[in-house]
Amino acid sequence: MAGILGQWSHEMKRVILAFMACLPLAACGLSETAVSAAAGGTSEAVQAKEALKTEARVKQQLDAAATLDAQRRQAADDSSQ
């Protein structure tokens, strides 16, 4: 019985040692994932700001086009009367 327990203990030590050896590698991957996610979040925030600027610019252009069209129609109406 003592021989089996001793062998089991030796196997557990090897498993724990292997686990401890792999742990830093897993931590590096986890930190890399966190950094990538943070960079992706920053990139998405920049894209969202640019999208809002583009939306505002397009609305301004549409308003200008609508105003110009209204002026042209008014001028056409005035000249036809």
Confidence of residue 61 (pLDDT cuts 50, 70, 90): very high
Distances (CA, A) of 5 to 2, 10, 13, 14: 5, 9, 12, 14
pLDDT digits (tens, 9 = 90+) for 43-60: 777 788 888 999 999 999
Residue-averaged pLDDT of the chain: 76
Q: How far, in Å, CA of 80 to CA of 52, rounded?
A: 42
Per-residue HEC secondary structure of 57-75 comes to HHHHHHHHHHHHHHHHHHH
Distances (CA, A) of 80 to 45, 49, 68, 69, 74: 53, 47, 18, 16, 10
